[in-house]
Amino acid sequence: MAEKTVATLLSKTLEQTPKFSGKPDQDADEWMKDLTATFRMADITEPQGLKIIFTFLEGHPKQWFNDNITMFESWSGFKAQFLHTFSSPSSKQLASNRLRTRQQRHDEAVIEYYTDIMKLCKLVDPHMTDASKLDHLYHGLKSSLMKDVLREAPATPAAFLDKARHEENLDRLVTTAAQHTNDNDTQATNYSNNS
């Protein structure tokens, strides 16, 4: 039963994988990473991936593949040519600009902010040091968490995440407790006014 469920989920995942069309809003690097992860999850080998890749392409990328099919002797060869052809030269610059200006939104969870910053760091420099990543994480962290996270001086991005999530949870508990106290005070006032 479980194997059938897994097979069904994998089949649906493959069917729902977006096709690469080369439109400006598609990032070739991200698309390739997602597709590779999907193939890995479905136990699709590199030779199998090379045989079925055309089903995940449309428009001019599919035409490009068909025109060049004879030069793709391996998955890694296809992947290198695909990224060389369809990666945006400005994507690294755009990621760098976004990284410099990224701020955690008031209602944004720490994990969401952290994941986005780490993704941008990897796009800008796959070998970025932990110290640089921490600088970027601190730069945009909302001020309500900043002091307490700085006090702990985490040495790695993972330690930063642990501390920031801990502080975020404490803030939620305090806010919830304060709201509960205010609600009780309001009810007590209403009760005494009605007596």
Q: What's the pTM?
A: 0.61
More confident residue, 7 or 122: 122
pLDDT above 70 coverage of the chain, percent: 91
92 in a domain, yes or no? no
Q: What is the mean pLDDT of the chain?
A: 87
Contact 53, 78 (CB under 8 A): yes
132 in a domain, yes or no? yes
User: What are the beta bridge partners of residue 20?
Assistant: 57
Contact 34, 17 (CB under 8 A): yes
Place of tokens 């597709």: 35
Give the residue from 86, 118, 147 where a domain finishes.
Answer: 86
Range of the domain at 78: 2-86
In this prediction, residues 49-67 reach a mean pLDDT of: 94
180 pLDDT tier (thresholds 50, 70, 90): low
34 in a domain, yes or no? yes
Q: State how far the Cα of 50 lies from the Cα of 11, in Å rounded to an integer.
A: 18
